[in-house]
Amino acid sequence: MQDTIEADAGATPSFFRTRDLRGRGWRTRDLSTAVATGHLTRLRPGAYCAVDTPPDCVAAGRTRGRLACISELRRLGVFVLDHSTRHIHIEPEAARLRASAPARVHRDKLIRTPHPRALSVETLDALRQSVICQNPRAAIATIDSALHLGVIPHDDLDELFAALPRRHRRLRRLLDSRAESGAESLMRLILRTIGCRFDVQVSIDGVGRVDFLIDGWLIVECDSAAFHSSWEDQKRDRRRDQAAAARGFATYRPIAEDIMWHPDVVRAAVTGLLAARSRR
């Protein structure tokens, strides 16, 4: 065995053909030994990848496909609302091997041609697919997240929306890369349906930066388990709310789960608070 195959951190996951490895000095016996000892993963006849290749990419490669759409975006850390099904892309003319688990298969023409050995589609194609696969509010949150994380530059938006069906192009004016989480994007869309005046990522003296400030007095903070679950987190949040109250602000903290899956409940809470204020 000539060397160890490891996934290149930060690079697009890829596979190696048998001839590629033989060109690096691997013999047939070396390949069999490496697979048997857990030093190499066999995707399918004639194709191998590093053992630390992301599992979803391995699963896609075993079908002669590439990880795509919301599955690829999730791998990159981009927010997607529902990732319960793996999404893979298979070239239109390619034969598909049977998948070990149910998958959503894409056979669309890609905007950008991936490397022949890539195990995932290009990010721009994953975003385009995700807009079509998701409902509009989820698609907006996903693009917001990709922009905020720098996964795609703003300059790519023209190419993205030009490649989408016309009905999706209206979403562009609703994007806001300032959103720091998917919940914030979805909360912003809820507030737009209410028609209230609000600002995002507002700094308040003595309180700090808040997610939303509605009508100059109602703070909305989007809480998730990732940053608000421990007692220390909760103490910090309550002290911020206390400091805000001392300055005449009210605070509403909907949980991310409700923002994502029960938007009507969250909308009713905000409208109730605004109505109570107007009756004074």
**253 Cβ contact list (under 8 Å, min separation 6):** 220, 221, 222, 223, 237, 241
Q: Are residues 164 and 225 in the same domain?
A: no
Domain carrying residue 191? 182-278
Read off the pLDDT of residues 48-79 as tens digits, 9 standing for 90 and up: 999 999 999 999 999 999 999 999 999 999 99
Q: Are residues 199 and 227 in the same domain?
A: yes
Domain boundary among 141, 156, 174: 174
In a domain, 60, yes or no: no
Q: Are residues 129 and 205 in the same domain?
A: no
Which residue(s) pair with 218 in the sheet?
214, 250
Buried residues in 203-241 as b, exposed as e (16+ CB within 10 A): eeeebeebbbbbeeebbbbbbbeeebeeeeeeeebeebb
CA distance 90 to 66: 7
* Residues in the chain, overall count: 280
> What is the number of domains present in the chain?
3
pLDDT of residue 223: 80
Element (H, E) at 208: strand 208-214
In a domain, 59, yes or no: no
Regions in the chain scoring below 70 on pLDDT: 1-10, 96-100, 225-229, 231, 280
* Assigned token pair, 48: 């191998």
